[in-house]
Amino acid sequence: MNDEERLKIYQGLAEISRKWVSVLDAKAGFISAMSAALVGFVWVGARLGAEPGWAKWFAIGSTVFAFVSLATALLIVLPKISVSTVFGKNTDYGKDYGPVSFYGHVATKYPSDKWPDYLSCVEQMDQHSLAVEALEQHFTISHILKNKSERLTTAGAFLVLALATTALAILIKELP
C-alpha cells in the first residue's frame, strides 16, 4: 500500500470516529433532557416532594440521581482542547507530536498572527506524514470516544436509578 492509499484510508477512519463523537454527544443531549424533565416532573408535575414520608424521600433520591446523570452527561459534551485533557496530565503521548489537525493545538501554538508559521509547518509535511497525522487523529478521537462512552454509560445508569426511585415514589403515593 502506498502513502496515498494510506492517507485515504486513515482519513476515512478519522472521519468515522468524528461521526461517532456526534452520535455520543447527541445521546448525552438526550440523557440531559430526560434528566432535567424528570426533575421537573417529580417536583412540579407529580409534586412528589410535597408528599409525606417515604414518597418525599424517594423523590429527593430521584432528584439527586437525575442531577448526577445530568452533570455526567454535560461533561460528555465539553470540548477537549488539549491532548492532555484526552489522555490525562501525565501522558507522554503528544510530547513530540504537533497535531496540525487538532484545533486546540493549532489555536494555542499558532495564534492569529502566526498563520504563515502554521502554513509552513503543514506544507513541509510529505504524504506519509499527512497519512500518519490522519491516523493519529483517529487514535486521539478513539480515546475521546472511549471516555465519552464510559461517561454516557454512567449518566444512563443514574437516569435509570432516577426513574426507578421516581416509580417507587409514585407507587407509595398511590398506595391506600
State the Cα–Cα distance between residues 7 and 134, nearest whole angstrom.
7
Using pLDDT thresholds of 50, 70 and 90, give the confidence band for residue 83.
confident
- φ and ψ at residue 72, rounded to 5 degrees: -65, -40
User: For 95-143, how does the pLDDT look when each residue is reduced to its tens digit (9 = 90+)?
Assistant: 666 788 888 889 988 999 999 999 999 999 999 999 989 998 999 899 9
Contact between 70 and 32 (Cβ < 8 Å): yes
Domain boundaries, the chain: 3-174
Q: Tell me, what's the pLDDT at 93?
A: 67
Reported pTM? 0.88
Contact between 33 and 158 (Cβ < 8 Å): no
Q: Which of 80-89, 91-100, 130-139, 146-155 has the lowest mean pLDDT?
A: 91-100
Alpha-helical (H) ranges within the chain are: 3-40, 54-77, 83-87, 103-109, 115-123, 127-174
Grid cell listed for 153: 454509560
User: For 38-82, how does the pLDDT look when each residue is reduced to its tens digit (9 = 90+)?
Assistant: 999 999 999 999 999 999 999 999 999 999 999 999 999 998 888
Q: Tell me, what's the pLDDT at 50?
A: 95
State the Cα–Cα distance between residues 100 and 28, nearest whole angstrom.
28
Q: Tell me, what's the pLDDT at 2?
A: 94
pLDDT exceeds cutoff 70 at 156: yes
User: For 6-27, how does the pLDDT look when each residue is reduced to its tens digit (9 = 90+)?
Assistant: 999 999 999 999 999 999 999 9
If DSSP codes are grouped into helix, strand and coil, which group holds residue 118?
helix
* Mean pLDDT across 164-172: 97
